[in-house]
Structure 1
């Protein structure tokens, strides 16, 4: 008879893994050997990735935030033997993620180095899952701009929010990289492409998602022994966490799961349903990019022909508008017209100076200066 772990024990192991328990701690709690837990966790993570590719597509997310968080895999040292180890599978690993701010849905993620290749992989995956042109917000990392321009075009509303931290002197012998900043002095927002709305440019949703990932995924915690020893196990753990959060977790300030809010599913999944669906999910095709629809902006806007977008009114101009009723053309006075007639022929004061291009008149002659002293 095959040695198969019962469904009840597998459910206990899964509940421990999605709640921030390491593999060895799950072994002590459930009594299942750590090698069995590792194989089960990898099978669950790979199945969750296939499930995400099939269900999370054709999204209408209008606000998308991108960010990356740091982790380790196998060992912290980067000096490895090229004949024995793969430098791409050891050392620093960055989890790149994109979140829909309105529904809290994790749209896409990618595990890799902090380089242009990883940024391209994340943005390409996000582009393949959307059917609406979003407003994108990232931090000040310069790797995003090239990928966003290549996949969404330079007309996409894209803004960066750069946090300026106050300095804090570290302990002697501590590198500046691991020094904890005191706080954020100010946040600078700068538009990179398009005409993004600065009031909607923030990274709070993806930053909070990163905090949740570090709390519920033991492999992402800082200064821990629970980091992954294999890159495949690390990628599987990240996929399991994000799919569990999308389909099973109801955020505190929401009454539905992120997948329900985004229209991906109509109910909250249980852990048992997620386990059955992930283990039974067959291999499928990844989503392909679809044409993007430009949503109508808020406020006054006019649609361009052929679905090329919208013209909208931006704040900052003169607070005047053209009169609703047609006005008579201004009267051009002759050179010998007296000053009183010129003053009476001046255009109304409510006309905008920007629109009144042909209403120039010579200024009336100033009255004689009052003489305070007799001749």
Structure 2
């Protein structure tokens, strides 16, 4: 059982999970059964979410970028629609906000790509901020409704509208998105500084998430079978990213750059806070 593992063994397992190693790979490296690794990962992910809910409040952010990244549970949506015996399966989206200056991820959410999820995500973001902020997003319509609802006009908001090339019959589209042929910035609410309207940092964060969270790697066979496991994996990633991982741009952990903690935590610190 995971609760009889030594702190050193737990730290080794959590470090490997946070760096994107597979469950079976960690099983081979640590000689700990994959079920025990999974249970530890779920406990850590749930505990990390509680830590972030406690620590990431009253933030002094000024520039926020938001985006969402696709994944799936059990099977892709087209297949899930044909197999009704699965209670929760198909597409799942991770909604991400990032502070463009400190690189802190103040909040994330996991769910469908709906207006309801957008409202919950943006409401949670607004509750964590101390001052009026500038927000940037893509042109997904749900963001405007959610930001108007959560901030009631007390925000500067601009969006990025990307113009995509229409693929011809011979274009390869299976794994690659359509080619971007133009980008247009539009003010939406308040008085945003249009030179700072961007989604570059949050899109780079999408890449970081895919590299460090095995379940979101492209063309992977390591997808989650349960939504609870998926949420736990993403929660562990963002606790590790915010509190432990040194970001090259700010030369420290994002939570230190944002003034949330005084010094970067080790993985052992994170394990101790969750497991006691």
Is the TM value for this pair above 0.5?
A: yes
Query: Which residue in 2 is equivalent to 1:181?
Result: 178
1:217 and 2:219 aligned: no
Q: Is the 8 A contact 2:94 2:108 kept in 1?
A: yes
Measure the CA separation in 1 of the matches of 2:97 and 2:12.
30
2:80 aligned counterpart, secondary structure = coil
Deviation at 1:216, TM superposition (A): 0.7
Deviation at 1:169, TM superposition (A): 4.2
Measure the CA separation in 2 of the matches of 1:57 and 1:219.
28
Query: Which residue in 1 is equivalent to 2:120?
Result: 121
Measure the CA separation in 2 of the matches of 1:3 and 1:269.
22
2:53 aligned counterpart, secondary structure = helix
2:4 aligned counterpart, secondary structure = coil
Measure the CA separation in 1 of the matches of 2:2 and 2:261.
35
Query: Which residue in 1 is equivalent to 2:42?
Result: 42
Gapped regions of structure 2 (runs ≥ 5): none
Instruction: Please tell me the root mean square deviation across aligned C-alpha atoms, in Å.
Output: 1.9
Deviation at 1:154, TM superposition (A): 2.7
Q: Is the 8 A contact 2:2 2:36 kept in 1?
A: no
1:114 aligned counterpart, secondary structure = coil
CA distance 1:147–1:177, shift in 2 (3 Å): farther
1:233 and 2:229 aligned: yes
Measure the CA separation in 2 of the matches of 1:212 and 1:14.
17
- The structure that has the greater radius of gyration is 1
Query: Which residue in 2 is equivalent to 1:130?
Result: 129
Query: Which residue in 2 is equivalent to 1:5?
Result: 5
Query: Which residue in 2 is equivalent to 1:149?
Result: 148
- Aligned residue-pair number: 274
For 1:93-119, what per-residue CA distance to the aligned partner results, in whole angstroms no more than 9, with x for missing partners? 100011111110001100001111111
Which deviates the most, 162-171 or 201-210? Answer: 162-171
For 1:42-63, what per-residue CA distance to the aligned partner results, in whole angstroms no more than 9, with x for missing partners? 0000000000011110011111
The structure whose residues are more often helix, as a share, is 2
Measure the CA separation in 2 of the matches of 1:196 and 1:264.
26
For 1:238-293, what per-residue CA distance to the aligned partner results, in whole angstroms no more than 9, with x for missing partners? 0000110000111112222110111100001001001111224xxxxxxxxxxxxx
Gapped regions of structure 1 (runs ≥ 5): 281-375
CA distance 1:2–1:137, shift in 2 (3 Å): closer
2:228 aligned counterpart, secondary structure = helix
Q: Is the 8 A contact 1:44 1:278 kept in 2?
A: yes
Measure the CA separation in 2 of the matches of 1:2 and 1:251.
30
Deviation at 1:186, TM superposition (A): 2.0
Q: Is the 8 A contact 1:168 1:180 kept in 2?
A: no
Q: Is the 8 A contact 1:94 1:114 kept in 2?
A: yes
Q: Is the 8 A contact 2:246 2:253 kept in 1?
A: yes
Measure the CA separation in 2 of the matches of 1:8 and 1:154.
49
Measure the CA separation in 2 of the matches of 1:167 and 1:18.
38
User: What is the TM-score with the length of structure 2 in the denominator?
Assistant: 0.94
User: What is the TM-score with the length of structure 1 in the denominator?
Assistant: 0.70
